[in-house]
Every structure is written in C-alpha cells, then in structure tokens.
A and B are shown apart, each in its own frame.
Chain A
Amino acid sequence: MNQGVPLEFYIIVATIMFFTGIYGFLTRRNLITILMSSELILNSVNINFLAFNRYLFPAKLDGHFFSLFVIAVAASEAAVAIAIIISIYRRFSNINVENVNELKY
C-alpha cells in the first residue's frame, strides 16, 4: 500500500538508536551524557510508535498521542534530571557518576 520507505528501515534505525542509548547509558561517566543517552532511548521508542501507527493502523492516532506524551515526560524528566545534576555538582564538585555511590550497603 505505501510505496515509500519500508517499515523495517524505521525499526532498524530505532533499534540502532536504542542500543546506542543503552551503550551510552551504561558506559559514559558524565551524567549529562547519560541523560542524553536516555533521551536517545526515549526517542527510539517514539520512532517505533509513529512507524507502527502509520503502517499498522493508519486510521488511528494513538501512536501520535503516545509519542507526544513521551516527549512531554522526557522534557520534564530532563528538567528534574538537570536539577539533580546541578545539586550533585554542588555536593561533589564534579558530575562523574562513579562518585555518586553513597547509597549502598
């Protein structure tokens, strides 16, 4: 029906973005980078939502709404996360995630 880009391409891009995000989340030391990685993960999910909505249920708008919702949540999450990072910086004078390990056994 749709002669444009096939669904698989969207999924491949989304998957690459997702695992790039996961990799960045698990390996970067800088909290800002970790935050950025989590944005990547969220956006890869958004791509999936939109692609599946477009290809499977073109008459519906659920996927659109959901990705708008995710964007809103991601924005507020970024606000909170940056606030946390600032206060971490005040406390530890850096934002290396390995230093933030007070809550342990």
Chain B
Amino acid sequence: MADFGYTVWILIVPFVAFIVLGLFGMKLKARISGLTGTTALAIVTALSYATAIRYFWGAGLVDGVFQKIIATNSTWLTLTDHLHIDMGILLDPISVMMLVVISTVSFMVHIYSLGYMKGEKGFERYYAFLSLFTFSMMGLVVATNIFQMYIFWELVGISSYLLIGFYYSRPSAVAASKKAFIVTRFADMGFLVGILILSFTTKTFDFVTLTDLNGPAITSTGGAVFMGMSVMTWSMILIFVGGAGKSAMFPLHIWLPDAMEGPTPVSALIHAATMVVAGVYLVARMFPVYYFAAPEALHIIAWVGAFSSLFAAVIATTQTDIKRVLAYSTISQIGYMIFSLGVSGYGGHDGLGFMASNWHLFNHAMFKALLFLGAGSVIHAVHSNYMTEMGGLRKHLPITNITFLIACLTIAGLPPLSGFFSKDEILTAAFHHDKVLFAIEYLVAGLTAFYMFRLYFSIFHGHDRQYEHKPHESPATMTIPLMILAFGSVFSGFLPFSSLVTSDGAPFESHIEWSVAVPSILIALAGITVAWVMYKKETTLPDRLAATFKHSYKWAYNKFYIDELYLFITKKVIFKRVSQPVAWFDRHIVDGTMNGIAWVTQTVSNRIKGLQSGQLQQYGFIFVSGAVALVLVFIYLVK
C-alpha cells in the first residue's frame, strides 16, 4: 500500500500560514501577506491533486473496490478502553474528492482576492482567516472519526463567523455573523447530542468501524425505541440536524442569505462551494449507517432536501440582490444534493443517488464559485449589489459576461456542461425512487434555469444604467480564476465519476437516461425562454405578473416571512414568556437574597461601628462594666 503520510502537510501548511499571517501579518506588507497565503494554498492544492491522482489511479483501487486508507492516526483523548477520540487522516473516494474541491476553489479564491480585496483594511487578517478556514475544512473532510469531524466542524463555523463579520464596522455584517453563528451553533447542539447517542449505542467514534457493514452501528438492532423510532434513528436524525444547519436546509436556512454580508470571495468559498456542503458530506460519510440502520432518517433527509430546494428556488425568483439570488440558489442546489442522498440506495447501480450527489457537489462547487466570483467582479465594477441598478454590462465586462453565462448554462443543466450530467443522474435516481419527489425536483430544475437567466439578463443585457463611473473589466488576478473555474464547469461533467465515487467503493457504469434527460433539458430551456421573454428587453411584463400574483409574490419576496417567524418565536415567545420571567426571578429573588444579606450586614455595621471609637478609656469602661456584670451574674444568677 502506498504511503500517504505526507497528506498531513495538507493540514499543517494552511495552519502555519494562519499562525504566521495572524501573528505577524500586521508587520508584513499587504501584498506579501496575500502572496504568503496564496503560496501556502498553492502547496496544498498541489498536494491534494497529487493525492487524488495517486489514490484514484493507483493505490486506492484494490480488487476493484476503493479502499479506505488511514494515512495517519493517533489517539488524542482516551475516554474508556474502547472509546477514544483520534486525530488522523482518512482517505477514501469522497474525502479525496473533497480535498480536490476545497483546494481548487480555495486556491482560486485566494488568487481572486488579491485583486478583489486590494487596498482593503485588514487585508492580512482576511488571508489569515482564509487559511484558518482552509485548514479547518480540510481537517473536517479527512477526519477519521466523527468527533474529529465535529471539532473541525466548529472550527469551520468560527472561521465562517470571522469572515462574515470581516467588515466589522458595518452593523449589518456584525448582525449577520452573529446570526450565522447562533443558528449553526444551535444546529450543532443536535449534532453533538447525536454523536453522544451514537457513540453510546455503538461504542465507537471511528468512521471505518461505523460504516463497516458488519460493524456495530449497522448490525445493531437499533437499540431501545423512543417515540416510535429506534435510538439509532434518533441519533442519525440529530446528526443530520447539525448537517442541515451547516448546509442551510429548511428551516435552518435563514443564516445563509444574510451571510452574504461578508466579502464576495468569501461567499464563493465558504457559503457556496465548501462549508455549506459539509452537511452533504456528513450524510455521505455516514451513508451506510443511514441506509441500513436508520432508513426513516434517510426518508426525512430526502424530504427536507426536496422541500428546501423548491422553497429556496421560489424565493430566488423574486430577490433583487444578486448575492441573495445566488445564496438561495445555493440552498436550492444543496437541497438537490441532500435529496439525492435521501433517495439513494446502496451498492452498485442502486447507489446512483449517492454518486450523483457527490458529483453534483463537485460540479456545483465549480460553477457556484464561478457565479459568485463573477458576481463579485460585477459588484467590483458597479459598486452595487442590486440588479435593478445594473444592465448592459456585457459590453463593459466581456470576460465576466462569458464566464457568467457558462456558469448559468451549467447550473440550468444544459448538455454538455457538467451540471447537466450530475442533475440528470439525480433526477434519474429520484425517478426510480419516488415520483412525487421527482416531480418537485423536476419543477425546481425549471425554476433554477429561470431565476439564473433572470439574473443573467438583468445584469448583462438591457440598457446601461447611470453608473458612478464607467464600469471596466476586473484585473487579471480576478479574471484568470474565472476562466479556470469556467473551464472546470464545462469539463468536470466528462469525469468518469461513477467509476470513482460510489456508495460502496466499487465502480459501476452509469449512462445518461435519455427518458429523464430530455424532459429536463426541455424544462431548462423553457425556464430560459421565459426569462428571455421577461428580462431580455426591459418590459413591464415582470411588474404586471408580480401585480397579478400580488400576494404570492409578496410572500416569496419576503422569503415567506420565515425570518419574521423566527423573530416572533424568539422575541415574543421565548424572550417574553420564558426569558423575562427567568430574568425577573434572577434579578429579584436570587440577586435579592444576596443583596439583602449584604444590606443587613452593612446597616448593622454602620450602627455599631461607633463602638470602635479609638478612645482607650471607653474600651476600658466597657471592659470593666462587662467584668462587673459577669461577676454579678455569677454571684446572683448562677447558683
């Protein structure tokens, strides 16, 4: 077996970069610190690609099955003889694929940020956080056990928090970072409880043992039954809650659109391509357990994914902030991936959904990063986030225009771009599983094409607006990553994915099922055509439609009032009915007791402190009187 020990440098290099930039960044020139971060990422990317090539076309495949290779592992914390938390590196098809995805997107974002963030205050801080994020995300995907994953999961959360709040002088950014942190943290509580229940039932944290088909997790009868479902199922549902929080699945999606307050490259890296797919990765990692031990949980996952994808797609059609459109589009696409895992079977061609989900994750990382970076390029040129203030930019931003168009066509799912292949596999998997879910996803495919081209036409077509200054194409540091990612979006569909990443590790042949593919192309084209009619030339048609469906439009525009609902629950119910009485009790009863004791002591001492007058003879008098009194007591009272 080949030695993969060097993969530990994939974690060490960005961490060292974080330490160096974090501690000494202020002393370095901005440009040097940017280049330091980018160089570190270049090393990581090279290592990741080398690992991927050696794994997929070399050491990984033994007897026709991709092996799970533990590159390095050491015990970090021993809890009992059997239960210990390790730190290590696990290489298997999905983790190696994630290494490639993260390093590629992160590297592109590092390069892009050299141009985009130029001259920003806190440039070196930005790169330090990016390195921290890359380190945490890499640690998350290569985790050998679920607890290591949880540790890095939280690290990812904190780096996301730091980067969303990067413009910390802006109140909205601060609010958004807090919201993201609290919502994901709330979900992570479910994750932690799930881990604890799982480890209690199976006596292990280790992924290899957990996903072993003869292991304790899968062969167990599921333990005791609680509220109609086994403990195993409950633990897997709770673990999925953590994943749903990170992946912004309904109803924990509210943080993601607000997270767009961060710098745009950060949105591309964290809130589109890498961190938000951690939930998908988590479910994929635990997939055998879900499939064999907790099928009810998998069923829930399928519905949550499908509902989120539809829900977010509907909202995306009404938003005007381009980054928010992309954010909802991200939720929608991640819903696709989660859904695809939910309808997948295990092993061989049955595991089509699993393969398709990971493939879509891979493609989505490319084209969504491209979309965000393209949007960043547009924002950089126009200094506005609102598509109502944009138009006719195709003349001013030719490279951005073409790459953005490619990304839109990819996400819409037109052949031969990558999105077509993975989306087709997802729909095929859904078609063989559940017709209702298939119908939902089919509708979402059309909506996706519509809102993406609504965005595209509004930005790049139509007539020019009044711009502050003439928009110009972004510098090469920004356009080169766009071109590389566009290349990736076009050609990643030709990767033989089904022979690389499968549910049981054994490659299989997958074919395009034209009976599903043709209708999906047609609905995508229909979506594009509707967008063309409505937004290619500026007409009053969109406004008239919005007026016709006034109420439903208003609901979708206000994101179905989910934020308001949360505010209502937290402010009116939790704060007012629970927290306020508790606060009153704390302030008046608990503090009151303590204050009362202090008050009594103080008052009494104020009264009697006059005794300590410093007058020697007064003391003497009291002493003598006391002595006399004692004598009298002993003579007359004590017989």
Chain A interface (Cβ < 8 Å from any Cβ of B): 22, 25-27, 97-98, 100-105
Contacts and interface: CB of A to CB of B under 8 A. Distances in A.
B621 A104 contact: no
B80 interface: no
A105 B624 CA distance: 22
Contacts of A101: 613-616
A105 B610 contact: yes
B612 A25 contact: no
Contact of A102 (B614, B620, B624): B614
Given A26-B621, A100-B614, A101-B615, 8 more contacts: A25-B620, A26-B620, A97-B616, A100-B616, A102-B614, A103-B614, A104-B614, A105-B612
Interface of B: 609-610, 612-617, 620-621, 624
Nearest to B612: A105
Contacts of B616: 97, 100-101
B620 A105 contact: no
A104 B612 contact: yes
A26 B617 contact: yes
Contact of A104 (B613, B617, B624): B613
A105 B609 contact: yes
| 9 interchain residue pairs of minimum CB distance | A104-B614, A101-B614, A105-B609, A105-B612, A26-B617, A103-B614, A26-B621, A104-B612, A104-B613
Contacts of A25: 617, 620
A42 to B, nearest CB: 15
A30 B442 CA distance: 109
A18 B616 CA distance: 19
B617 A97 contact: yes
13 contacts: A22-B624, A25-B617, A26-B621, A97-B616, A97-B617, A101-B614, A101-B615, A102-B614, A104-B612, A105-B609, A105-B610, A105-B612, A105-B613
A98 B612 contact: no
Contacts of A22: 624
Contacts of A26: 617, 620-621, 624
B603 to A, nearest CB: 15
Contacts of A105: 609-610, 612-613
Nearest to A28: B617
Contacts of B624: 22, 26
A98 to B, nearest CB: 7
A45 to B, nearest CB: 14
Contacts of B609: 105
A22 to B, nearest CB: 6
B613 to A, nearest CB: 5
Contacts of B615: 97-98, 101
Contacts of B610: 105
A74 B524 CA distance: 114
Contacts of A100: 614, 616
B623 to A, nearest CB: 10
Greatest chain B CB density within 10 A among A25, A26, A97 is at A26
Contacts of A102: 614
Contacts of B613: 101, 104-105
A2 to B, nearest CB: 28
Contacts of A27: 617
Contacts of A98: 615, 617
A100 B612 CA distance: 13
A84 B174 CA distance: 69
A25 to B, nearest CB: 6
A102 B613 CA distance: 9
B476 to A, nearest CB: 79
A97 B613 CA distance: 13
A22 B609 CA distance: 26
A98 B621 CA distance: 14
A26 B616 CA distance: 9
B237 to A, nearest CB: 66
Nearest to A103: B614
Nearest to A97: B616
Nearest to B605: A105
Nearest to A22: B624
A37 to B, nearest CB: 10
A101 B610 CA distance: 13
A102 to B, nearest CB: 6
B57 to A, nearest CB: 88
Contacts of A103: 614
Contacts of B614: 100-104
B317 to A, nearest CB: 78
A104 B611 CA distance: 9
A100 B614 CA distance: 7
Contacts of B621: 26
A9 to B, nearest CB: 22
A104 B609 CA distance: 9
Contacts of B617: 25-27, 97-98
Give the one of B609, B610, B614, B621 with max A CB within 10 A: B614
A31 to B, nearest CB: 9
Contacts of B612: 104-105
A24 to B, nearest CB: 11
A22 B625 CA distance: 11
User: Which of B609, B613, B617, B621 is most buried by chain A, counting CB atoms within 10 A of its CB?
Assistant: B617
A74 B613 CA distance: 28
Nearest to A27: B617
A105 B612 CA distance: 6
A105 B613 CA distance: 7
B12 to A, nearest CB: 65
B197 to A, nearest CB: 62
A91 to B, nearest CB: 14
A88 to B, nearest CB: 11
Contacts of A104: 612-614
A63 B612 CA distance: 38
Nearest to B609: A105
B94 to A, nearest CB: 75
A22 B624 CA distance: 8
A103 B612 CA distance: 8
A28 to B, nearest CB: 8
A30 B572 CA distance: 76
A97 B619 CA distance: 12
A101 B614 CA distance: 4
A102 B621 CA distance: 19
